[in-house]
Structure 1
């Protein structure tokens, strides 16, 4: 299936399973995990409208409206002629197209499926009496699917098994999620608003949004959450971090162009000799595919113009999200310069502003407590200090995360010392708050580590950061 076909699929995943075995347990949990990440998933109990022909609907879902079939093999899967016919249909579609099949062996061994032993042998004893003409086709299908590299539960926890399946699906769909902090507070309403804008703005419209707010308020985190949830809806996608800082470096704009082009072309490299060469290539490739593009930390529109040029012919349905401290960044003049309105079909109501507000005091305290204590409730002996520390962080999640982490497991005197320093800072400047967190560390090893993380790795992938720090003997 070509890349352009993926966006036309009604679903990314078709779930084939024995309802009596796993509908209300394993398969339900898997379905929920997939949908949570924006992976459109078909399962017959929710997706088929009442009154429609079930067989026809499932056949359409497999043959025309999905890219991957996940086949969940359970003990009684082979007892269902419906499941077996569905499997035959899936494998026939695999042969005639690039449809991907992912076998999942839930509570059976692949050899049991391949050789039809155990409960599968019992099922076929019945089938040979009632469906003699179909038995060999079903046996062949089970043998074929068991030989495909699948995933086996064995002795693993189901929750981890489901996570592994979801990651495999993401890889097969070329959906690489960005890392963001594990504990998030108060962002759901704004994330929902942005998602609604992405969904309702129309498939034939290019859209651009500005997520604005002061430094450290959580703009990048919100953009990452939205990005992760929506990349399955687009043919190509790219998240360019630290545009303001990177564009100031020598060859920084060219590096950003290379990343953007590589992301849109699904990892394919393209040689760029200068900025103009990069602009021409970007215009060429965004013209023919729906793109989700996030430009993180943009301080002025000139940076975007230098990166991508003007009159960019984005394909209809493409969406661009910018994070910025400047709420007035987008304006009608900028839009007319940046976009090729004729090529984009329709750009009416193109610009949208989403402002990140300060968290409520109770939410700020929850966030601080999680990083300081590992949970969102505070010890009674530390309540007064925690409230005062939160108050002086100016409502900035980044400051709370760093300060809470640096004071974790520290003595009351350390908390008192940090509070005294915070009380001396005017306007709760985040740089000074980070400095206090740095000073609270007891040895040079930890101080060097914090400097590396803050200065070099903010916004980077967690595994990438750990790999680099391992090489420096920091972790």
Structure 2
């Protein structure tokens, strides 16, 4: 995974995901406004809206840059005419140099070479910073009567350096909505490489990934269809490993697809056909192929039969209760020579039913103590090891997490910047539960939510998982901030695809267990009813109470 960004190291706690650097008069009311809105859907974003320029604002801007993980610099026609933009840029590039902050340049209706060489409109702006005879000196400064040559030279160097970074050019990506979508996706990828197990080579393990790839026998293109399995408990990192493998090898196949949440999608009445359509859409890159039922046209069969494809199926559970893998991919023997299938499941028996040989099933185990400590400490303390006076507490907490990355991340983020006394309180809570498991560790984060955040978490776990964020906010009303809290505590995520709200299966199961415990023997007294049997009995016998927030009906 050489394309992953290195993890920014900073002695300052990150308060924001993204800092926006732009010239307001050029782009605030159009491009930047729309970009900021898109970023706010997923990330904590700093924008200097409403701040009056003046010396008193500089510490706020400087602090925001220092406390951001990524800076997005929007170069526009008159960008260089703003001394504030240039001063922020110098600070951003200094932050990149000293603390490895990620910088994403966007060239909006401006030639990157004009930025790099300070030609065109950028030359005109620099000329205005000086007088007619000496562009590097003269003119009033924000601080003194004259701008120094040294400061102007820093501006030039920052522009040259920033414009040399990989970024986005509006002349090559149109319209703006497409450009904004690509920027948001790029930032999400960069933040994922920082926040999810922090170093894929060090924590997930480069050798582990290489071994799984070796099971696919990619060197032997004459090999018939090969199926391998990735097996392990929920939250252990199966999907993350599969994604890393997919990104490494997908360019070796004529068609590829990565299908998430197979279990949930098969439960719907149109689940099989929907999944087959999704596989065809991804394999054939979105071409409109007609598929009205599980029997696919012979022409598509012929194409599949001569096409080497990579198919990754995530969260394949209880497949014997639904439909066999043969139906899902129209018969493994119908795929082209060299095709590979990866089955991801918590259940080893399911993988065996799918035709995976035991020697081709890779078990993902929990992190070793040192790796678990590093991941936990990155989430809690923003560094690889804890303060000396919290070492014992940290080791006890990671012991309860059993090396499970999801538990480490969720627990760690719930304890972010907490005092030693608060850590001790959590440890004491876990100590009192003799039958503690992963759910108990995850519930620590849930218990730290306020009343409204808890309700929204349960709403998502019981009903709204997979729904578009805008739709959820419309239903629940005024929940944008609460959703942001859940995102930053790693209790939910927003998918790249259509901005839907996603929640890990373990967290979903925990949420539903919390609701079930509200009234173990009388579902009508619970806040949510999602099992069809419970819904039918409650309505039939008029057992519902005012406690019910919502029911899920399968019509």
Where on the TM-score scale, by shorter chain, does this alignment land: which range?
Answer: 0.5 to 0.7
Alignment of 1:280-319 (within 5 A): 283-302=301-320, 303=323, 304-319=325-340
Corresponding residue of 2:166 = 162
- 1:106 shift after superposition: 11
Alignment of 1:32-181 (within 5 A): 33=3, 155=159, 157=161, 161-162=165-166, 181=196
> Which of 217, 240, 243 is the aligned partner of 2:236?
217
Is contact 1:279-1:307 (8 Å) kept? Answer: no
- In structure 1, distance between residues paired with 2:164 and 2:270: 42
**1:357 alignment partner, SS class:** coil
**2:373 alignment partner, SS class:** helix
- 1:162 shift after superposition: 3.1
- In structure 2, distance between residues paired with 1:209 and 1:283: 23
Structure 1 104/246 Cα, relative in aligned 2: closer, same or farther at 3 Å?
Answer: same
> Which of 327, 333, 346 is the aligned partner of 1:325?
346
- 1:410 shift after superposition: 2.5
- In structure 2, distance between residues paired with 1:373 and 1:325: 31
- Unaligned segments of structure 2, at least 5 residues: 7-110, 121-156, 467-490, 503-555
- In structure 2, distance between residues paired with 1:419 and 1:109: 57
**Structure 1 residue 263 and structure 2 residue 285: aligned?**
no
- 1:418 shift after superposition: 2.4
Structure 1 427/305 Cα, relative in aligned 2: closer, same or farther at 3 Å?
Answer: farther
**1:293 alignment partner, SS class:** strand
- 1:393 shift after superposition: 1.0
Corresponding residue of 1:251 = 270
> How many residue pairs align between the two structures?
313
- In structure 1, distance between residues paired with 2:407 and 2:284: 37
Alignment of 1:272-421 (within 5 A): 272-274=291-293, 276-277=294-295, 283-302=301-320, 303=323, 304-331=325-352, 335=355, 352-421=360-429
- 1:459 shift after superposition: 9.6
- 1:412 shift after superposition: 3.3
**1:214 alignment partner, SS class:** coil
**1:378 alignment partner, SS class:** coil
Corresponding residue of 2:32 = none
Structure 1 431/258 Cα, relative in aligned 2: closer, same or farther at 3 Å?
Answer: farther
**2:409 alignment partner, SS class:** helix
- In structure 1, distance between residues paired with 2:394 and 2:228: 36
- In structure 1, distance between residues paired with 2:351 and 2:374: 34
- In structure 2, distance between residues paired with 1:159 and 1:243: 43
**1:187 alignment partner, SS class:** helix
- In structure 1, distance between residues paired with 2:302 and 2:434: 50
- 1:253 shift after superposition: 2.6
Corresponding residue of 2:209 = 191
Structure 1 361/350 Cα, relative in aligned 2: closer, same or farther at 3 Å?
Answer: closer
- 1:202 shift after superposition: 0.9
- Unaligned segments of structure 1, at least 5 residues: 1-31, 37-102, 113-152, 339-348, 470-475
- 1:251 shift after superposition: 2.3
Is contact 2:262-2:314 (8 Å) kept? Answer: yes
**2:334 alignment partner, SS class:** coil
- 1:273 shift after superposition: 2.9
Structure 1 450/190 Cα, relative in aligned 2: closer, same or farther at 3 Å?
Answer: farther
**2:360 alignment partner, SS class:** strand
- In structure 1, distance between residues paired with 2:167 and 2:372: 30
- In structure 1, distance between residues paired with 2:119 and 2:279: 45
**1:253 alignment partner, SS class:** helix
- In structure 1, distance between residues paired with 2:394 and 2:451: 24
**1:247 alignment partner, SS class:** helix
- In structure 1, distance between residues paired with 2:330 and 2:433: 42
TM-score (structure 1 length as normaliser): 0.55
Is contact 1:217-1:397 (8 Å) kept? Answer: yes
**1:299 alignment partner, SS class:** coil
Structure 1 197/443 Cα, relative in aligned 2: closer, same or farther at 3 Å?
Answer: same
- Measured against aligned partners, the alpha-carbon deviations of 1:402-421 in whole angstroms (never above 9, x if no partner) come to 11111112233432332233
